Amino acid sequence: MPHPSLNLSNVNNLALSFQRRARAAASGDSPNDTLELVNGLYGMAKKDLPFLVPVFYATLNPSGIPRLLAQVNAQTHVNNFASQSILQLYVVQALFSLRGISFLALRDMIATEALPDLWDRVVPWMQFLDEYREHLTGVEKLPQDVRYSLWLYLIRFFRKHEAIDKSIDSSFGLCVVVGRAWGHILAAKDKVEVIEEGLRDISQLVGFWFRKKTWNAAAFDELLVGAGGSRTQLASLVIDHLQYIVPSPETDITQDKILKLVGVVSFVVASINIRGQHDTAFRDALFSQGLVAMLTTLIIGLCFSTQPIADIQLKSVLGAVTDYLSADPSPRRIIECGSLFPAMIVCAEARLIPVTREYLVELLQHVLPSSTIYASVLGWLSAALYEIDENLTFNTDDTEVHELWKSFRALAEDRIQTMHKSCYNPEFGSIKAERTCDNLECNKLFQKADLKRCSACLSVLYCSQTCQLADWLSGHRWGCAYVSTRRDEQSHLTTRDRSFLRVLTHHDYLLHREQIAAETALFIQNNPTRSPRMYVLFDYTQGACRVEVKPLEALDVFDPKLRGLRYDAERAASNPRKVQLHLMKIASGRNGVDLGEAKKERSSRIWAFPLRCIAIESVGASAGASNSNYMAGEVIDSADDLMNFDGRMVH
């Protein structure tokens, strides 16, 4: 049984003149009666308004919807005037009944206990009118923007009551309506009041379904349908919503703007949460449309906001950006961050440090330093640091954060200098450096452009088909697949970034050459019965390079994480006079854990950049006259040879 307040007999409590009008509307004979009743609501005494709730409850009886749906389907084939007239009668009556409900809800005239029963009648009509809007005569009686504002208000009104929130969340198709309304509200750019109220409602509703980093798969699927069916369309709504509220870093973020942001921010955080079971294709769609740059703009605005709740949103947004970058500190992710440095500088202010410190430490200690191995990031950093010097100063009272900033900046400037030298000084290890023929029996030095790649792995280089065949027979036939694996692991990098990794390894090898020789000699001295063949690990996971020299026999090439190294390791073991195995260890993010657990869960990749040792008599003619200054010498076979070798050493 419905709640007593929904009993039509309550109309008897109205004045006689209103009773007649109310009963006429409840009969459903004419939409004009309902329209007249709704228009008269503004002139009624407040004490009489609750007695009109059962009238709209009666006019919204959903039992007739299946018959109307059949008529909709029929009229798509036959243009029947009578059928259209019946449809229009019910459509107009339902539209204005829903408007009457919103009038009463806004004035708190509906008993809370009656909401579940009333919702069961509101939602079927709302969904029917929205789903078949293009086929319903009379729906235009309420303009599109007014209609969607009405839908959003009704959903938000019912959803805020605990007695019915679970029932609403389980209403199939409801989020389709919200997703469709989202697009239409954002399109009403010339109607400020409509878009302002609509975005506030949408933010609150989306926040109900995506909160505390939780992922609501059912709600997401329905939002997707409402947005148009594609993840790109839904992502566009999210970005447009954020950009409308915060168009620039200078935006004054008021309490009202925060209300329009908070739910959408929760949706974004749930979508990109490193631990969440989110939709990865949607996450990628968000990022492809500039989400991170938008979030850094939002961070700056929140930093300057004087609203108490702004700090909560700042922590959430800054945490999401840090989460995203630390999960995979790839060049593309770093570069797309837009105003990251201005955002960090503002976040470092004393007032905000209690909120932002954890994330600033993560960015300055791990994420940004480990990304300075990429040429594309260094190019971005060069411009970003210049802009900071021109306009901003990194000031903070937090000693650790300040020292981390200084350390990161020094590292970045050193790497930028290395990159510039590599571009203009070929002997320093140019990005267009010379390479050796990968047939070790040839082992001659050539300009890279003069060498041809293996067509299968696209990695090893040969000066001729003769050398390619010889190397194939001597081992590349089984090693080709291993080398392909390594190339696949680097496929997300640009050619320039891959080349600079080789340049950087060579640069740090030259800087640490004496250390490498000393550690090699010490190992041989302390382990006279073990193989003297070593490999060198250049560890960049913390940003600055750390060098370790280890016995080659200790390298587990059958470890799945090292599967791409077996070919290079066996070549180094078999040809110690011509190849020394150099490995580059780089950060590859956190394994889906929160920052507090990240230290023990950070992952890494290891790539091989073998050092080729070439005596002067093996230098190819195409290497040019620059080789004439080298004296003939012996190839490397010991620590002393490593320091005294007079030929060329090329990665």
Residue 79 lies in a domain: yes
Q: Which of these three, 146, 169, 200, is where a domain ends? A: 146
Task: Please enumerate in sequence order all residues whose Cβ is within 8 A of that of 594, keeping only pairs 6 or more positions apart, or say none.
Answer: 274, 275
For residues 44 and 55, give the distance between their C-alpha atoms in angstroms, rounded to a whole number. 15
- Of 641 and 230, the structure prediction assigns the larger pLDDT to 230
Q: Which of 27-36, 187-196, 288-297, 333-342 has the lowest mean pLDDT?
A: 27-36
* Residue among 123, 129, 128, 116 nearest 154 (CA): 123
Query: 629: number of CA atoms within 13 Å, CB side?
Result: 2
For residues 78 and 75, give the distance between their C-alpha atoms in angstroms, rounded to a whole number. 5
What percent of the chain stands above pLDDT 70?
87
For residues 552 and 333, give the distance between their C-alpha atoms in angstroms, rounded to a whole number. 35
* Residue among 644, 611, 605 nearest 536 (CA): 611
Strand ranges (E), 12-92: none
274: confidence class by pLDDT, cuts 50, 70, 90: low
Partnered with residue 650 across adjacent β-strands are 612
Residue 465 lies in a domain: no
Q: Which of these three, 146, 177, 195, is where a domain ends? A: 146
Residue 169 lies in a domain: no
The pLDDT value recorded for residue 92 is: 87
Residue 176 lies in a domain: no
pLDDT at 648 over 60: no
Give the pLDDT mean for 50-65.
Answer: 92
Judged by DSSP in three states, 299 sits in: helix
Residue 311 lies in a domain: no
The number of beta carbons lying within 10 Å of the beta carbon of residue 337 is 21
225 φ, ψ (degrees, to nearest 5): -65, -45
Residue 280 lies in a domain: no
| Residue 538 near residue 547, CB atoms below 8 Å | yes
Give the pLDDT mean for 356-380.
Answer: 94
The pLDDT value recorded for residue 634 is: 33
- Straight-line distance from the first to the last Cα atom of the chain, in angstroms, rounded to the nearest whole number: 82
Which sign does the torsion angle of CA 374, 378, 381, 383 carry?
negative
Distances (CA, A) of 19 to 13, 32, 107: 8, 16, 21
For residues 637 and 268, give the distance between their C-alpha atoms in angstroms, rounded to a whole number. 57
pLDDT at 323 over 60: yes
Which sign does the torsion angle of CA 38, 43, 46, 48 carry?
negative
Average pLDDT for the chain: 84
Residue 458 lies in a domain: no
The pLDDT value recorded for residue 172 is: 83
pLDDT digits (tens, 9 = 90+) for 217-230: 889 999 999 999 99
Most confident of 2-11, 323-332, 597-606: 2-11
pLDDT at 78 over 60: no
The pLDDT value recorded for residue 80 is: 54
For residues 48 and 104, give the distance between their C-alpha atoms in angstroms, rounded to a whole number. 11
pLDDT digits (tens, 9 = 90+) for 286-313: 999 999 999 999 999 999 999 989 999 9
pTM: 0.80
For residues 141 and 136, give the distance between their C-alpha atoms in angstroms, rounded to a whole number. 11
Query: 500: number of CA atoms within 13 Å, CB side?
Result: 24
pLDDT digits (tens, 9 = 90+) for 158-204: 988 877 777 787 778 899 999 999 999 999 877 888 899 999 999 99
pLDDT digits (tens, 9 = 90+) for 574-621: 888 888 899 999 998 765 445 544 444 678 888 888 888 765 444 444
* Residue among 459, 521, 531 nearest 491 (CA): 459
**Which amino acid would we find at residue 497?**
D
* Residue among 54, 145, 130 nearest 97 (CA): 54
pLDDT digits (tens, 9 = 90+) for 135-146: 887 788 888 888
Burial of 441 (0-12, 13-18, 19+ CB in 10 A): exposed
Q: Which of 332-336, 550-554, 626-630 has the lowest mean pLDDT?
A: 626-630
The number of beta carbons lying within 10 Å of the beta carbon of residue 248 is 9
Alpha helices in 562-624 (DSSP H): 566-574
259 φ, ψ (degrees, to nearest 5): -60, -30
Q: Which of these three, 114, 129, 146, is where a domain ends? A: 146
Q: Which of 55-59, 74-78, 553-557 has the lowest mean pLDDT?
A: 74-78
Alpha helices in 132-170 (DSSP H): 144-159, 165-169
Alpha helices in 512-637 (DSSP H): 513-526, 566-574
pLDDT digits (tens, 9 = 90+) for 406-465: 999 999 999 999 998 876 544 444 455 678 899 999 988 888 889 999 999 888 999 999
For residues 41 and 38, give the distance between their C-alpha atoms in angstroms, rounded to a whole number. 5
Q: Which of 270-284, 422-436, 556-570 has the lowest mean pLDDT?
A: 422-436
pLDDT at 17 over 60: yes
The pLDDT value recorded for residue 72 is: 77
* Residue among 217, 222, 186 nearest 203 (CA): 186
For residues 527 and 142, give the distance between their C-alpha atoms in angstroms, rounded to a whole number. 88
pLDDT at 570 over 50: yes
Partnered with residue 550 across adjacent β-strands are 535
Q: Which domain holds residue 125?
A: 1-146
Written as six digits, the tokens of 374 are: 């990429």
The pLDDT value recorded for residue 616 is: 44
Alpha helices in 170-216 (DSSP H): 174-187, 192-209
For residues 430 and 438, give the distance between their C-alpha atoms in angstroms, rounded to a whole number. 19
For residues 211 and 172, give the distance between their C-alpha atoms in angstroms, rounded to a whole number. 20
Written as six digits, the tokens of 629 are: 């200054």
pLDDT at 638 over 70: no
Residue 587 lies in a domain: yes
Judged by DSSP in three states, 619 sits in: strand
Query: Quick one: residue 340, left, alpha or beta (phi over 0 = left, psi -120 to 50 = alpha)?
Result: alpha
Written as six digits, the tokens of 85 are: 């007239």
The pLDDT value recorded for residue 593 is: 45
* Helices and strands in the chain, H and E counts: 28, 10
Written as six digits, the tokens of 568 are: 């290079």
Q: Which of 427-436, 472-481, 568-577 has the lowest mean pLDDT?
A: 427-436
Alpha helices in 475-634 (DSSP H): 477-489, 495-511, 513-526, 566-574
Total domains in the fold of the chain = 2
pLDDT at 212 over 60: yes
